[in-house]
Amino acid sequence: MFQKISHSTGVTDEEEILFSTPFNYLFPEAARSAACLLPVSLNTIQGLKALGNAMADNGSIGDPAGQGDSQIDALFTYIGQFIDHDITARTDRDTTISDLSNESAITPANPDNVIKTLKNGRRPQLDLDSVFGEGPGLAGSTAQAKTQSQILYNNDLKLNLFKNGSRIDLPRQQINNPDPVQQAIIADGRNDENLNISQIQALFLSFYNHVYDVLSGTKEEKYIRARQLVRWSYQYAVVHDYLMAVCDRNIVLDVLANGPRFYSSTAGKGETFMPLEFSVAAFRFGHSMIRPFYKLNNTNSAVHLVNMAGGLQILGPNARADNFDDDGQFVSGLMINWSNFIGNSAQKARKLDTKIAHDLFTLPFRPSGDPILSSLTTSNLVRGYSLSIPTGQAVCDAMGIIPLSPSEITSTEDPAIAAVVTANNFDTRSPLWYYLLREAAVQQGGERLGEAGSRIVAETLIGLLKQDPNSYMNNLHDPAITDTHIEVTGGAYGKISNFRSLLKFGGAAGL
Ligand code: HEM
């Protein structure tokens, strides 16, 4: 069932709906060259675990305006995660190709096997399959045409959504897993793995429903046009709002004007593929932007990612009894007032650097106490090793970029991290995920990605849009697509130019 795509371990292929699209390497020669990878050794795994642990940010938990903040509005953290879940899934599978459960058995997989065995559970087109699923099965009414996805839609072909006064939430059903979980009935279960992304998913459903409402025609015509306008609005905002906020602007403009230099379908035998360097390392940069707690609305105090004392909690929200009202939907105390996430008084994302919020070291939906999987940092680092992701230095070489020198990496680095990096020679062969975060801190003061990180992220997202004949970039003749916005309806309100206007049109409280 498609609802089961998750970051939990132990979910089998049969339990997930699979688009089964290809992964490949951006830099296949590097992935196949031992010199471009981390050394194959148990010591490397021990080093990665030590590095992961050293990256824990234990400071400033009680200080809402913590010194680790960037100037990027906190919304962009979860827009990033929402984009991730739209285009890439399953690099974290504990299958034979990347099983992190038995430390002593972890070795880097042969890249050819990775490409053959590991399949992406998402369609890499920024087309919101995480929102629309496979659609409501317009092709016919036979039993075969009635796909699982139909349960996402009501008879009018609007998306099901819970609304009660100021409470907005995803449609839910109670399951036992084995403890009770208020599972969201949505196309990608990961979009209910934390409260913030869950509420963004709800606003996307609501955005689609509102666009549908302003259109005329049969319900099938309204569904098709509304879905198209929603996709284009989102894609436009990904390029002109999100990428401009998290990447080096000049690199984004260069990729827009001249096209990707390294990412093209020809690198993957002519198929559109998700680059593993993006999914397993570069785009996980967003993990460093996560705050340890969030002020959600103006009535409650900040809510922690993990709340050991009981009460409201951001991570794994659907398994948390305190998060639910008697009707099985989120309590009003969890409803986000979006002025806390975007705009003048918004809390900020944490800096893009190598310090990671400490609650991410005890992920509630992972086996408790597992030396690798329970921690997000260690999972990222060991996952990169296991999937033969080239080092930061090798990736820079492949792109013709001068990599950070060992002293740039360590001299101003947190001393505990620097000690682990030096002891394990990670200053000359750096795990790519760590390297790109360090690059962001050294080159951009943690305000955005550095040169290599910006290029991988901008080339992948813009490259996906350029390769898709249905993207807004390839439909400029349509009157709804202008240079400055997507016009979903007349009037200023209907001009969608960024995520703020998109969420506002979706009915986001506080905007
Ligand atoms: C509270 C927020 C978040 C949590 C708890 C979280 C957790 C996770 C976990 C557990 C994994 C799998 C790790 C592994 O075993 O390999 C993962 C993968 C990933 N995360 Fe996050 N994440 C969060 C936010 C983000 C953000 C903000 C971004 C990007 C802006 C992001 C990007 C990714 C990507 C690209 C993957 C790989 C997806 C794939 O399998 O292809 N995540 N995340």
pLDDT band at 1 (very low <50, low <70, confident <90, very high): very low
7 CA: nearest ligand 1 atom: 10
Give the Å distance between the CA of 320 and the centre of ligand 1: 20
CATH number at residue 126: 1.10.640.10
Q: Is 385 a domain residue?
A: yes
Q: Which whole-number Å values give the CA distances from 183 to 43, 221, 256, 317, in the listed order?
A: 40, 31, 39, 10
What's residue 6's pLDDT?
60
> Could you give the CA distance from residue 38 to residue 9 in angstroms, rounded to a whole number?
25
- State the residue range of the domain holding 35: 2-505
246 CA: nearest ligand 1 atom: 30
User: What's the pLDDT tens digit per position in 100-147?
Assistant: 988 888 999 999 999 999 989 888 999 999 999 877 766 544 454 455
100 CA: nearest ligand 1 atom: 15
Helix axes 376-386, 42-54, angle to 10 degrees: 150
Give the Å distance between the CA of 380 and the centre of ligand 1: 9
Give the Å distance between the CA of 437 and the centre of ligand 1: 15
Structure tokens at 408: 């740039």
Per the prediction, the chain carries an average pLDDT of 91
On the question of pLDDT at 173 being above 50, the answer is yes
What's residue 68's pLDDT?
86
Cβ contacts of 52-55, under 8 Å, gap ≥ 24? 52/375, 52/377, 52/378, 52/380, 52/381, 52/382, 53/361, 53/375, 53/377, 53/378, 54/414, 54/416, 54/417, 54/419, 54/420, 55/354, 55/355, 55/356, 55/377, 55/417, 55/434
In this structure, the residue with its CA closest to atom 23 of ligand 1 is 287
Q: Is 511 a domain residue?
A: no
Give the Å distance between the CA of 219 and the centre of ligand 1: 36
Pocket test for ligand 1, best of 21, 81, 197, 433 (most atoms within 8 A of CB): 81
Name all residues whose Cβ lies below 6 A of ligand 1. Answer: 7, 77, 80-81, 84, 88-92, 194, 279, 283-284, 286-287, 289-290, 315, 363, 376, 379, 383
On the question of pLDDT at 268 being above 80, the answer is no
Q: Is 158 a domain residue?
A: yes
- Domain count for the chain, please give it: 1
Mean pLDDT, residues 14-37 taken together: 85
In this structure, the residue with its CA closest to atom 41 of ligand 1 is 89
Spell out the SS3 assignment of 73-134.
Answer: ECHHHHHHHHHHHHHCCCCCCCCCCCCCCCHHHCCCCCHHHHHHHCEECCCCCCCCHHHHCC
Farthest CA pair distance, the chain: 66
Give the Å distance between the CA of 378 and the centre of ligand 1: 12
What's residue 139's pLDDT?
54
- The rounded percent of the chain whose pLDDT value lies above 90 is 76
Give the Å distance between the CA of 492 and the centre of ligand 1: 35
Structure tokens at 16: 């997930």
Q: Are strands 69-73 and 348-350 parallel, antiparallel or unpaired?
A: antiparallel
Q: Is 510 a domain residue?
A: no
Give the Å distance between the CA of 493 and the centre of ligand 1: 33
Q: Is 35 a domain residue?
A: yes
> Could you give the CA distance from residue 380 to residue 30 in angstroms, rounded to a whole number?
19
Q: Is 426 a domain residue?
A: yes
On the question of pLDDT at 398 being above 50, the answer is yes
Number of H helices, E strands in the chain: 17, 15
Give the Å distance between the CA of 32 and the centre of ligand 1: 25
What's residue 265's pLDDT?
62
Pocket test for ligand 1, best of 75, 241, 284, 457 (most atoms within 8 A of CB): 284
Is 485 or 100 the better-scoring residue by pLDDT? Answer: 485
Q: Is 499 a domain residue?
A: yes
Pocket test for ligand 1, best of 49, 95, 287 (most atoms within 8 A of CB): 287
Give the Å distance between the CA of 494 and the centre of ligand 1: 32
What's residue 299's pLDDT?
86
User: What's the pLDDT tens digit per position in 37-95?
Assistant: 999 999 999 999 999 999 998 765 445 556 789 999 999 999 999 999 999 998 887 66
- Give the pTM: 0.95
> Could you give the CA distance from residue 466 to residue 287 in angstroms, rounded to a whole number?
27
User: Which distant-in-sequence residues (6+ apart) come within 8 Å of 35 by Cβ?
Assistant: 394
Q: Which helix (H) or strand (E) holds 205?
A: helix 195-214
User: Which distant-in-sequence residues (6+ apart) come within 8 Å of 445 by Cβ?
Assistant: 351
pLDDT band at 269 (very low <50, low <70, confident <90, very high): low
User: What's the pLDDT tens digit per position in 193-249?
Assistant: 999 999 999 999 999 999 999 999 999 999 999 999 999 999 999 999 999 999 999
Mean pLDDT, residues 178-191 taken together: 90
84 CA: nearest ligand 1 atom: 35
What's residue 178's pLDDT?
80
User: What's the pLDDT tens digit per position in 320-350?
Assistant: 999 999 999 999 999 999 999 999 999 999 9
